[in-house]
Structure 1
Amino acid sequence: MLRHPVLRRLLPGFALSYVGEGMGLLAVSWLAIQLAPQANAGVWVAAAVAAYTLPGALGTVLFARVLSGRSGAQLAAWDAVVRAVMLGAIPVVHLAGALDISWYTVLLGLSSLLRSWGSAGRFTLIAELLPAEHRLAGNALIGLFSEASTLVGPALAALLIAAGGPVLVIAVAAATFAVLAVSYLLAVPRTARAPIEERRGSSLAGFTAIWRDRRLLGLSALTFGFFFLYGPVQVALPIHVAEALDNSAGTLAAFWTAFGVGAIIGGFAAGYLRRWRLWPTTIAIVLGWGAALLPLGVGAPIGVALVAIAIGGLIWAPYPATTMALLQRSTDGAARAPVLAAYAAITTLSVPLGTIAAGPLITGVGAEATILAAAVLTVAFGVIAAAVAISRAVRVRSAYDLADVETPGKESVRQLDPEPLP
């Protein structure tokens, strides 16, 4: 990434836009709190936060016919333009005195319509420009920007909110996406921005491709379950700190900071895992994250729990890079971007659904038991995935052995598939 003549010119835009994304994590909900009527503030705040992400899943279907066959640079640039324009409209409407919670929610929803396609575009561009052996490192660097933004972005947003309010933060975030859009225009050659082909796919082409390919379906199911089980942790951890620990905002911040520091270290490490087999590594991440959550679920002391969550962040961080490398390896040409967009839509939906499921669970059994349940189910999910992978590998190995016996003197078919996928 650092040596590639195109990608290295995009890195400042990537870094800046991820900082803007991190700032939005705080500013979106804070402005929603200020705009929402007191009578039903919770409903409106939840709607605004959801509008900032969930419409991306809908956009995967709505714009598939238009965007199928487009290059990674085109997809990522269009997402950056839409986000810059729609987020930039929020301070404009505010200055006009017309911004209310309903307009705010609509503009947030419009800004996220191409979110899944933008994610697909970034990783498609990496697959288009980097050789296969360097894609994992490229994915890891993008993931590292994302992890770092969760530490830097909210802190910067807090300073700007104190200085000028949350509308100012959203204006700055819009500017970062504008810079990214210009970066794609200036840094990526016209040939790399050209459509891969003119053919238009169906609106469900990406989902159909995943459904028909056992490898892609297995990876998508693993990711959906993994992220779904992470959703309850996001809700239960603050309540656990308030109820079972010392009810301190500083303690909660320490947990997320420990996770973030571990994730940054893990993000760096992910770039050096290219010699590791991707499927076993990905399944091991699921098992390791579930195991790291266990101390929180059994009421471990704060010091032990902080170390555990830091180790969990370290283990968690390589997951997006390894899964994206598997997807990049399993797709090519015009089929890649629709599949990556559909996969991004699946991940976009999984965490909010897990968060919604956490409410009744926490009410019924408590926050600590909810974390324990999420940890145990995550480990169980990883064990099931490992069993499926081992079973598949045994069947494939048996087929290879049979092929070797039946075709003596020919090149072993093993060389054609060094890492069979479940």
Structure 2
Amino acid sequence: MGPDLSRVLRSSPYWPVIRHPTLRRVLPGFAVSALGDGMAVVAVAWLAIELAPAADRGVWVAFAAAAYTLPGALGAVLLGRLLRHRSPARLVAWDAALRAGALGAVPVLHAFGALGIEGYVALLAVSSVLHSWGQAGVYTLIAGVLPERDHLAGNAVLSGLGAIATVVGPPLATLLIAFGGPATVLAVDAATFLVSAVTFLVAVPRGAAPERAADAASRSGGFAVIRRIPALSGLLALSFAFFFLFGPVYVALPLHVSDGPGAPAAVLAAYYTAFGIGAVAGSVLAGFLGRWRLWPTTAGIVVGFGVLMLPLGLGAPTAVSVVCFGAAGLLWPPYSSLSTALFQRSAPGALLPQALAASSAVRVLSVPLGTALGGPLVAGLGAAGTLRVSAAGIALVGLAAAAASLRAARPRPEPTADTDTAEREAGKGSAAGARP
């Protein structure tokens, strides 16, 4: 490494993240499980298509995609009393271990001819019960071991690893599907989560993240603190609408591809790979957005994302729609990283895991709800029509957020003591804090 390159790396916002002793140990495990999830993006839908009756495959693809994440929202609420005081590393490890066990059962049952579509969806649902808490754990760990100024870069590193996995995962999944079928991909996915579970259990020393003061809040305390801070509640509402409207794409896109000419699995993988390439670039850029205004940035991301999705449903050539889908991927990580940092900075320290779990639950809930709606939409509008409705809806939500930001920019009364910090973040536009 030349001196100039070394100097650039050391001056980048990512250097404190990749050089932190605790994060150096856990990021490889996180990256491995992210790769498994990148492969599962293709395999979950493809195995559902294989197992489901031909007449009902759209509905079952929607159920499978929703089951892979939806129960995490329920777990965020019902398991709060049990999990809210657990260490961040244990939250991540327990989530990964449950996913490894449930997903590992899929290829075993499939090999013995005992896997039906109902059992498959049930196993996907079990695998996701702790998902919101696992997400809360990893971002709480980031907030605990890094100073506030490095939270955005830490979030962006996690997003970047996920984005790289989205680039590498689908082509690997395509190869495995060709030689062993989609159940083989889920076997590999289960193994990667096992690696992640072991990593977070053994590689995070006790006391690596400062202990947070015990609180007497109820299991819904995370939602309560979000309601008390207008900047967070408004951002969460925007995120819910954004991800809900994106949900039908997980149903419509595989069916849109499978109904077309060529090799369906390879074409579907090309879409997801292009999205991942864009997301890798977006993750690199996200760490440098600390001085951008929050609401103009988030509103612009949502509007741009919707516009870039329109060619998928308007009959554009495959090459054009793949490129546009990749450009939409460029906008995804900055939105996620920025909004998470706002939660990390604005939520009270003792309630940060609960607030992050509540935020994750809303995000986890919004996409599968939209995905579940995708089945009926595809049945009524067709795959292309569903893609058009989804894209237009996202753009309109972004425009509504932009209008709200203009109203918020007008002079208003002095904020109260409870919301002063968050209002300054939103009003002055310190985009260093955000994630959907």
Q: Give TM-score scaled by structure 2 length.
A: 0.81
Tell me, yes or no, if the aligned pair for 1:278 and 1:326 is still in contact at 8 Å.
no
- What residue number does 2:340 align with? 324
- What residue number does 2:289 align with? 273
Rg (Cα) greater in structure: 1
Q: Does 1:341 align with 2:348?
A: no
Distance 1:301 1:204 in 2: 47
Residue 271 of structure 1, CA deviation:
2.1
Q: Does 1:62 align with 2:113?
A: no
Q: Would the alpha carbon gap of residues 46 and 70 (structure 1) be closer, same or farther in structure 2, given more than 3 Å must change? A: same
The range that moved more, 50-59 or 275-284, is: 275-284
Q: Would the alpha carbon gap of residues 55 and 246 (structure 1) be closer, same or farther in structure 2, given more than 3 Å must change? A: same
Quick one: which of 228, 231, 247 aligns to 1:215?
Answer: 231
Distance 1:21 1:263 in 2: 15
Q: Does 1:203 align with 2:230?
A: no
Q: Secondary structure at the match of 1:395?
A: coil
Tell me, yes or no, if the aligned pair for 2:164 and 2:280 is still in contact at 8 Å.
yes
Distance 2:37 2:100 in 1: 11
Q: Secondary structure at the match of 1:276?
A: coil
Distance 2:319 2:52 in 1: 38
Q: Would the alpha carbon gap of residues 228 and 121 (structure 1) be closer, same or farther in structure 2, given more than 3 Å must change? A: same
- What residue number does 1:140 align with? 156
Q: Does 1:229 align with 2:236?
A: no
- What residue number does 1:405 align with? none
Please give the residue correspondences for 1:8-407 in structure 2 after superposition, counting only pairs within 5 Å: 8-32=24-48, 46-91=62-107, 100-192=116-208, 196-199=212-215, 201-237=217-253, 249=264, 252-296=268-312, 298-302=314-318, 304-362=320-378, 364-365=380-381, 367-396=383-412, 399=414
Residue 178 of structure 1, CA deviation:
1.8
Residue 262 of structure 1, CA deviation:
1.7
In structure 2, the gaps of 5 or more residues are: 1-16, 430-436
Q: Would the alpha carbon gap of residues 414 and 147 (structure 1) be closer, same or farther in structure 2, given more than 3 Å must change? A: closer
Q: CA offsets per residue over residues 188-245 of structure 1, 9 Å max, x none?
A: 12113686344464232222332333222111110011111212344444566678x8
Q: Would the alpha carbon gap of residues 107 and 198 (structure 1) be closer, same or farther in structure 2, given more than 3 Å must change? A: farther
The range that moved more, 86-95 or 45-54, is: 86-95
Distance 1:295 1:97 in 2: 40
Amino acid at match of 1:420: G
Amino acid at match of 2:427: P
- What residue number does 2:4 align with? none
Distance 1:185 1:79 in 2: 11
Q: CA offsets per residue over residues 320-372 of structure 1, 9 Å max, x none?
A: 11111111121132211111111111112212222333445455555545444
Distance 2:422 2:83 in 1: 36
Distance 2:204 2:124 in 1: 28
Residue 39 of structure 1, CA deviation:
8.3
Distance 2:407 2:67 in 1: 41
Amino acid at match of 2:160: L
Tell me, yes or no, if the aligned pair for 1:16 and 1:176 is still in contact at 8 Å.
yes
Distance 1:203 1:414 in 2: 24
Distance 1:169 1:142 in 2: 23
Q: Would the alpha carbon gap of residues 420 and 21 (structure 1) be closer, same or farther in structure 2, given more than 3 Å must change? A: same
Q: CA offsets per residue over residues 98-141 of structure 1, 9 Å max, x none?
A: 65555444333222110010011111111111122211111111
Distance 1:130 1:310 in 2: 31
In structure 1, the gaps of 5 or more residues are: 401-412
- What residue number does 2:427 align with? 420
Q: Would the alpha carbon gap of residues 83 and 364 (structure 1) be closer, same or farther in structure 2, given more than 3 Å must change? A: closer
- Identity in percent: 51
Tell me, yes or no, if the aligned pair for 1:24 and 1:173 is still in contact at 8 Å.
yes
Tell me, yes or no, if the aligned pair for 1:70 and 1:196 is still in contact at 8 Å.
no
Distance 1:239 1:101 in 2: 17
Distance 1:370 1:105 in 2: 23
The range that moved more, 208-217 or 175-184, is: 208-217
Distance 2:54 2:246 in 1: 30
Distance 2:371 2:291 in 1: 35
Distance 1:314 1:183 in 2: 30
Q: Would the alpha carbon gap of residues 107 and 363 (structure 1) be closer, same or farther in structure 2, given more than 3 Å must change? A: closer
Q: How many residues align?
A: 408
Distance 1:219 1:226 in 2: 10
- What residue number does 1:410 align with? none
Tell me, yes or no, if the aligned pair for 2:58 and 2:378 is still in contact at 8 Å.
no
Q: Secondary structure at the match of 2:21?
A: coil
Tell me, yes or no, if the aligned pair for 2:96 and 2:193 is still in contact at 8 Å.
yes
Tell me, yes or no, if the aligned pair for 1:144 and 1:268 is still in contact at 8 Å.
yes
The range that moved more, 329-338 or 307-316, is: 307-316
Residue 96 of structure 1, CA deviation:
7.5
Tell me, yes or no, if the aligned pair for 2:62 and 2:371 is still in contact at 8 Å.
no
